[in-house]
Structure 1
Amino acid sequence: MGNHSVWSSLIILLSVFLCFFSTRSATVENYDYPYLWDQVPGSIEDLPVKDDQIIMDPWDYRDRLSMYKLMINHSAKYFTQFGINNTGNVFWALATFYGKLYVTGRCDNPSNDLVNNSPEKENFVLTKSGWSGISYYVAIPFFLSALKLNFFGPLPYQIELLPQEERRSDFCYSFDECNASYPQMMAIDLKIFEYLQSREKTSNNAENPTYNTDMETIIHYTWSGHQAGVDVGKPLFYDKSQFYSAGEKDFAESFLTTIEFLEAANYPSDFKNASDILLGFPHRRLTTGDWLIPGWDFDKYEKVLLTAVKLISGINSISGGAFLNIWKTIMMSETARKDAPVLIKIMFDFPEFIPLDIN
């Protein structure tokens, strides 16, 4: 496939996908916070202490969500000028996607395993789930990097992560352990916190001081860390983990490929834009048939997203990866990154492009 035809296909398909995000008119008040957000600790002082240690279980949905909440709350001062109530924070994309994975059943046990489905395991995140394993390497290295740099300030007690014996060798539970196995990923994850800690105040307002945070830079670091985690997690979990059906597995691969296009364009990862991305995320796991033709219970936004990611990843596969490489090359231009979403929004109106009443 020549460069011209690849680029033409790229413009058409990304137009549908990104226009789908950019045409949402809802305000942040219309979006939901991640499941149980208000019920998990958001400060170090609120974490439970036992035997002079703070133990956090990354395989408990609430504890992993709390790690995101800690990062979002403790970085809030750097995003004061980008949105009310910390909605401009770049970590929202990671937190909201994790919440979406959980409520759509993608962290669940696909079998009726009585141990994992017992009441005391209500918020259990399955180690065998491909989604859970990949998202582990998106979440945990960020949190461990923040701890390494004392981003949360002086700690009254040491924080330890509780390992799961199942598939123990596939996971790392401390900064040193992760750094020994995946030094490149940890170096990337450290950058975002090093950058934030290097910011200087531009306003000394006692209640809401502002810092010289460059949003373009911080979004880039966030997406780079996300992709580094995916690059580590996919080889470990994509082939030998459970995605519950061939259709769900294909969707996971296609969705993660499509996110790379957004990352290259430095798509904003704040609360509203993260919610826009996930508006059409399927409300349940896919069957193999759903991947061919979305089921009757999928709404129009889910059908658009499923169609878009299938087409984008399909063209990228046919082109041998040239599709994504051309996009990344073009997005190296600051002008292209700024203009792309605007041009896409003008070019297409997604309801007219895809028949939304199909089943």
Structure 2
Amino acid sequence: MHFLRIGIAIAVAALLTDAAVVLENGLPVDWEKAPADLSKFPLSSGVVTINPWDFSQRMGMYRLLMNSTADYMSFLWANASDSPLWGLPMQLGWKLKSGRLADPTGATTCGKHSGDPMCISPQSYWACVNYYVSVIPFLAAVHTGVIGDGVTQIQVQAPADGAQDYCISYTDCSQKYPDMMSKWETFFKTLKIVSSSKGTDLEKKDRVLGSMWDAQQASLQQATSSCQQRQNPYSSKEVSFSDSWISASDYVAAAHFQSSIEKSEKFMRPLPSRILKEGDEAPNIADLSTEENHTVYIFSWMSSANKLLGGTLVRLWRSAMCSEVAREKGRTLLEDLLLNPKFAVSGLLSVLTEMELLTGISPG
């Protein structure tokens, strides 16, 4: 019995090492090390200056965001771990642990274990994309009064290299990307008023989730354009994965996925735990787990199928997600598709069949 327990422990440990690291002690990576309030950030001449190119400080922006929205979220989700904003810091943690925040050009040791592992490189495509779902919502939250006292001045530090490619203040960002900033403001305003609005809890949750995903999609769409040149140093396999990862958000957003800690962890653990290189062919990448291989493969299939159909797959999916009931069914379909390798083997096109039943529209 003793040896059986040891064997089980080893097997569990092996499974854990095969998976991407997205949580530590049930919270996002290095969560407890991140600043918990504005007083913990550097202060100079009465201005709080946040350096988003330091992992702890970028994660700190998320921690402030979670703390500041906790009371609003508690009207909808009694458990603090159920806030749908948890998916954002968990993504940042995965990117750090998988090496995706490091300098891909090799010109510096930023983000490398041989240099400063907590450094976030402005040259990283993944860091650039995350900028639009970390700094941007943070600035919008400050502007709408969700974060801060409305008096303290807050400034975001520009990177030493490529500063012209990043907006660094609410005014700067709203002038460059008015639609994106407006959608994040709308989300925070919606969050503040929804607790006193009419409707069932289900309707209120769906409204908040819809507004949140609308804002996230606006950020990712802008990032796709603004960060594109930063894909150049990566392998074609990593670029393909990053594109399919962005494309997958269309399905998740339309289904109003509630990205709580528990649900986000289920979808993020199978993400590839390292940067893909030339020669990696999912589902047969030797040093990635079966689950990681499946995720890379399915993301690629979803993106390729949509391109082959001229965008019809995404349009059909969005059309299908037209009600709370349909979105609930859509979330179940996504879970089967992304988390169950046997589901894909039994027939990937079953997803299309399910959507036909939901919409009565043929994809052909």
TM-score, normalization: structure 1? 0.80
1:78 aligns with 2:69: no
Q: Is the 8 A contact 1:104 1:283 kept in 2?
A: yes
**CA distance in 1: counterparts of 2:338 and 2:86, whole angstroms:** 27
Letter in 1 for 2:253: E
Letter in 2 for 1:174: S
Instruction: Note the 1:346-357 alignment, pairs <5 A.
Output: 350-353=340-343
SS of the residue corresponding to residue 48 of structure 2 reads strand
Pick from 274, 293, 298: which aligns with 1:284?
274
**CA distance in 2: counterparts of 1:51 and 1:218, whole angstroms:** 37
Structure 1 residue 107 displacement after superposition: 0.9
Residue equivalent to 1:160:
155
Structure 1 residue 246 displacement after superposition: 0.7
1:47-78 deviation line (CA, Å, top 9, x unaligned):
33233221101111111111111011111112
Letter in 1 for 2:35: P
1:171 aligns with 2:166: yes
Letter in 2 for 1:138: V
1:127-174 deviation line (CA, Å, top 9, x unaligned):
111111111112111000011112124156311111114222211000
Residue equivalent to 1:93:
87
**CA distance in 1: counterparts of 2:115 and 2:339, whole angstroms:** 47
**CA distance in 1: counterparts of 2:79 and 2:330, whole angstroms:** 28
Pick from 135, 139, 143: which aligns with 1:148?
143
Q: Pick which of 160-169 and 340-349 moved more.
A: 340-349
1:270-302 deviation line (CA, Å, top 9, x unaligned):
111111110111000001222455421111211
Q: Is the 8 A contact 2:256 2:327 kept in 1?
A: yes
Residue equivalent to 1:50:
44
Residue equivalent to 2:351:
none
**CA distance in 2: counterparts of 1:345 and 1:109, whole angstroms:** 33
Letter in 1 for 2:342: E
Aligned length: 320
Letter in 1 for 2:278: T
Structure 1 residue 349 displacement after superposition: 8.6
Instruction: Note the 1:233-252 alignment, pairs <5 A.
Output: 233-242=223-232, 244-252=234-242
Structure 1 residue 240 displacement after superposition: 4.4
Pick from 117, 135, 139: which aligns with 2:134?
139
1:227 aligns with 2:217: yes
Pick from 286, 308, 311: which aligns with 2:298?
308
Instruction: Note the 1:160-199 alignment, pairs <5 A.
Output: 160-199=155-194
Closer/same/farther in 2, CA of residues 43 and 186 from structure 1, 3 Å limit: same
Closer/same/farther in 2, CA of residues 114 and 129 from structure 1, 3 Å limit: closer
Instruction: Note the 1:253-264 alignment, pairs <5 A.
Output: 253-264=243-254
SS of the residue corresponding to residue 38 of structure 1 reads helix
Closer/same/farther in 2, CA of residues 132 and 348 from structure 1, 3 Å limit: closer
Q: Is the 8 A contact 1:134 1:237 kept in 2?
A: yes
**CA distance in 2: counterparts of 1:349 and 1:36, whole angstroms:** 26
Structure 1 unaligned spans of 5+: 1-27, 203-210
Residue equivalent to 2:53:
59
Closer/same/farther in 2, CA of residues 347 and 271 from structure 1, 3 Å limit: closer
SS of the residue corresponding to residue 159 of structure 1 reads strand
1:256-275 deviation line (CA, Å, top 9, x unaligned):
10121111111111111111
SS of the residue corresponding to residue 243 of structure 2 reads helix
Q: Is the 8 A contact 2:337 2:343 kept in 1?
A: no
Q: Is the 8 A contact 1:42 1:66 kept in 2?
A: yes
C-alpha RMSD over aligned residues: 2.9
Closer/same/farther in 2, CA of residues 44 and 239 from structure 1, 3 Å limit: closer
Q: Pick which of 259-268 and 156-165 moved more.
A: 156-165
Residue equivalent to 1:20:
none
Q: Is the 8 A contact 1:243 1:249 kept in 2?
A: no
Higher relative contact order (CA 8 A, sep 6+): 1
Q: Pick which of 241-250 and 169-178 moved more.
A: 241-250
**CA distance in 2: counterparts of 1:30 and 1:132, whole angstroms:** 21
**CA distance in 1: counterparts of 2:53 and 2:335, whole angstroms:** 40
Q: Pick which of 344-353 and 95-104 moved more.
A: 344-353
Structure 1 residue 351 displacement after superposition: 4.2
Pick from 125, 131, 139: which aligns with 1:130?
125
Q: Is the 8 A contact 2:76 2:204 kept in 1?
A: no
Residue equivalent to 2:317:
327
Residue equivalent to 2:102:
108
Closer/same/farther in 2, CA of residues 213 and 96 from structure 1, 3 Å limit: farther
TM-score, normalization: structure 2? 0.79
Q: Pick which of 269-278 and 63-72 moved more.
A: 269-278
Structure 2 unaligned spans of 5+: 1-21, 346-364
Residue equivalent to 2:255:
265
**CA distance in 1: counterparts of 2:29 and 2:280, whole angstroms:** 25
Closer/same/farther in 2, CA of residues 344 and 71 from structure 1, 3 Å limit: closer
Q: Is the 8 A contact 1:107 1:132 kept in 2?
A: yes
State the identity %: 23
**CA distance in 2: counterparts of 1:145 and 1:300, whole angstroms:** 40
SS of the residue corresponding to residue 160 of structure 1 reads strand
1:216 aligns with 2:210: no
